[in-house]
Structure 1
């Protein structure tokens, strides 16, 4: 088991005490990428800032937390190739039963696994949404951390990728130690 740092981006409603007492907060979007749950950015606070600006303009809060990460508890579609193969097999099976088609979203597959597959007992899922941070928006260029492999070739290394972890329950992965990291005026550890 490894301790992992997570960041949750929230709209700033001027209620830092409420946030620290009640965090984390469930995503309430109907089109949440990974289904119902508590969404976090994995390790890189830059991604939490990017999402704050995209979603809330200049008025956002970033909470920092820790969790106990293991691939026994988290279905990891970023770093566990066995999980990736399991996901692929699930898609093949669902296609063979005509349960999904080319328009089926990731969240529908995750929801199916959670609801219908008894041995899918994970507490969370971890993914990297390719092209989450648009290549075409100059305003967000500073949030891209990419290096090319070869001059004049399109391939690159994304060394701070936009990896998300969705916790299925509020206490999944033993999430703990919530505190506001940003903005500075809400962070008691900030020194002027």
Structure 2
């Protein structure tokens, strides 16, 4: 089983002790991409900083945690092609039943999988939201980690992609060791 480092970005409300005592925090926004859950950025803290800048206007906290990545417990739409095929088959089935439209979201398909199939027994989901980080804002350039394959061609490798993991329960994937990583004044391990 592979250990992964995860980062959760939170609004800074001046309550670091509360955060460390109660983290991670459930996201229940109306427009959550993957449904209700505990959202983390996978591996790359830069993505957590980007979200803090965008969502919380640079007033944010980043918590770092460790989990045990297990493809049997995590529905991985980034690195597991069988899971991608399962998701595709679900979309094709929903289309055949005329239950999917151009307005259908990833969250709605996942909700169908969770509630209607009886076969979705995962603790988490892992996704890469293509174009999460705006291509058009110069301020976000520092968060885009891309290298072209060929000169004068648009294709590129995103070597620090904005991959998210949504845990369905607070302790999914054996989540542990959660503590504040940023800002330094809340991080007892920070070196001055």
TM-score, normalization: structure 1?
Answer: 0.99
The residue correspondences of 1:28-39 to structure 2 (distance < 5 A) are: 28-39=28-39
Q: In the alignment, what sits opposite 1:90? A: 90
Taking only aligned residues, the RMSD between alpha carbons, in angstroms, comes to: 0.6
The residue correspondences of 1:1-192 to structure 2 (distance < 5 A) are: 1-192=1-192
Offset from partner CA, 1:2-61 (integer Å, 9 cap, x none): 110000000000000100010000113100001111100000000000000001112100
Offset from partner CA, 1:128-186 (integer Å, 9 cap, x none): 00000011000110000000001110000000000000001111111010000000000
Distance 1:84 1:181 in 2: 33
Distance 1:58 1:35 in 2: 25
How far the C-alpha of 1:97 sits from its partner, in A, is 1.2
Where do 4+ consecutive residues of structure 1 move more than 3 Å?
none
TM-score, normalization: structure 2?
Answer: 0.99
Distance 1:60 1:147 in 2: 29
Number of aligned pairs? 192
The 8 Å contact of residues 28 and 35 in structure 2, kept in 1 or not, is answered as: no
The secondary structure found in structure 1 opposite 2:132 is coil
Distance 1:21 1:82 in 2: 38
The secondary structure found in structure 2 opposite 1:165 is strand
Distance 2:117 2:174 in 1: 23
Distance 1:131 1:3 in 2: 27
